[in-house]
């Protein structure tokens, strides 16, 4: 039979910022979207409501939360910035005017700050906290930790502490860190802790393995914001590497030494 969830007009979308509109009325459904940074809206579907439970006939819930799927899932990739719900069925002209206002607002991602290493560059990341200026981010038993690395360190330690900068797997203006001695494996977060894992090709992995540089919070080097948790920065705590949020509810979110712990010098590669 016909798949009620199939939409022949549904395109692949790769905009960094997306305007998305869904509107419905009795037995009428429309999906429109466009690049939130430029251009106009396109209509992806306009016709009878999908012949699926909960859609036709229209089913109204007591409350709707913006930023989740219609099936109450939270499995979308990316960040939900803002939204609005309105009553009635707005005209395309009204939505086109909204799109023009969104474009005029100028959503943008800041350019890479000075000192961001170029894609293909091998680097090591050195901590700047007073306790730990000889410690570097390295993988050990798949976990990301900081270790004291010197010229006398073993070849294995030096390789573990060396990363190849790649254009961000989820967003090319940011970066991903590929392991020097485990090609195809990247620094990625899971449950807020950092690991070296093989890239499984999923959108989730790409998001978890992408970090966006900003000037170091303590004036040294760079700080690295998680792409999919942009309020969390790469942070060392008790020599383990996390993505932390200053003063948050986790132990590793401690405000103590925050600016130092999230600032990293991009150093010459150990390997």
CA angle in degrees (0–180, nearest 5) for 64-38-73: 25
pLDDT of residue 17: 87
Q: Can you list the domains of the chain with their CATH numbers? A: 18-105 (no CATH), 122-267 (2.80.10.50)
pTM of the model: 0.65
What's the whole-number average pLDDT of the chain? 90
Pairing of strands 42-47, 28-35: antiparallel
In tens, the pLDDT along 10-30 reads 888 878 889 999 898 888 889
| CA 159 vs CA 82, 186, 204: distances in Å | 43, 14, 26
Could you write out the three-class secondary structure of 52-65?
A: CCCCCCCCCCCCCC
Higher pLDDT, 78 or 155: 155
């Amino acid at each position: 039979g016909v798949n009620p969830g199939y939409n022949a007009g549904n395109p692949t979308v790769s905009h960094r910022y997306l305007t998305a509109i869904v509107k419905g009325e009795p037995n009428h459904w429309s999906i429109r979207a466009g690049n939130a940074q430029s251009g106009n809206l396109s209509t992806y579907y306009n016709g009878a409501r999908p012949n699926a439970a909960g859609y036709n006939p229209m089913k109204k819930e007591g409350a709707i939360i913006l930023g989740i799927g219609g099936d109450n899932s939270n499995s979308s990739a990316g960040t939900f910035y803002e939204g609005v719900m309105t009553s009635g069925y707005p005209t395309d002209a009204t939505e086109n005017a909204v799109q023009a206002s969104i474009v005029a607002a100028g959503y943008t991602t800041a350019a890479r700050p000075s000192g961001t290493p170029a894609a293909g560059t091998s680097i090591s990341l050195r901590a700047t906290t007073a306790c730990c200026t000889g410690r570097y981010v390295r993988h050990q038993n798949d976990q990301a930790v900081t270790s004291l690395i010197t010229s006398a360190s073993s070849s294995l330690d030096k390789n573990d502490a060396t990363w190849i900068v790649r254009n961000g797997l989820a967003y090319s203006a940011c970066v991903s860190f590929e392991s020097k001695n485990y090609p195809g494996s990247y620094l990625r977060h899971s449950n807020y802790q950092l690991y070296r894992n093989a890239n499984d090709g999923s959108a989730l992995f790409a998001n978890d393995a992408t970090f966006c540089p900003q000037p170091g919070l303590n004036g040294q080097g760079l700080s690295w914001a998680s792409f999919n948790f942009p309020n969390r920065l790469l942070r060392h705590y008790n020599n383990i590497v996390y993505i932390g949020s200053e003063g948050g509810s986790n132990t590793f979110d401690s405000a103590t030494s925050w600016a130092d712990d999230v600032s990293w010098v991009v150093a010459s590669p150990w390997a």
